Amino acid sequence: MSVSRKRVAILGATGNVGQRLIEHLAGHPWFDITHVAASERSAGRSYREACDWRLPTPLPGAVADLEVRDMTPAADVDLAFSALDAAVADTVEPEWARAGVAVFSNARSYRMAPDVPLVISEVNAGHLDLLPAQRAARGFPGHGGIVTNANCSATFLTMALAPLHQRFGVRRVLVATLQAVSGAGYRGVSSMEILGNVVPFIGGEEEKLESETQKMLGTLDGGAIVPAPIAVSAHTHRVAVLDGHTEAISVELVEDPGLDAVKEALRSFRAAPQEMGLPSAPDHPIVVLDERDRPQPLLDLAVERSMATVVGRIRPCPVFHYKMVLLGHNTIRGAGPGSVLNAELMAARGLLGARP
* Residues with catalytic function: 152, 245
Taking the C-alpha atoms of residue 81 and residue 22, their distance in angstroms, rounded to an integer, is 10
Identity (one letter) of the amino acid at 293?
Answer: D
Identity (one letter) of the amino acid at 301?
Answer: L
CA 84 to chain centroid, in Å, comes to 14
Identity (one letter) of the amino acid at 21?
Answer: L
DSSP secondary structure string, 205-228? HHHHHHHHHHHHTSEEETTEEE--
DSSP annotation of 143 reads T
The three-class DSSP label of residue 277 is coil
The three-class DSSP label of residue 210 is helix
Burial class (CB in 10 A: 0-12, 13-18, 19+), 63: buried
Q: Do residues 170 and 251 lie in contact, with contact meaning Cβ atoms separated by under 8 Å?
A: yes
Neighbours of 252 (CB within 10 A): 18
CA-nearest of 49, 50, 62 to 23 is 62
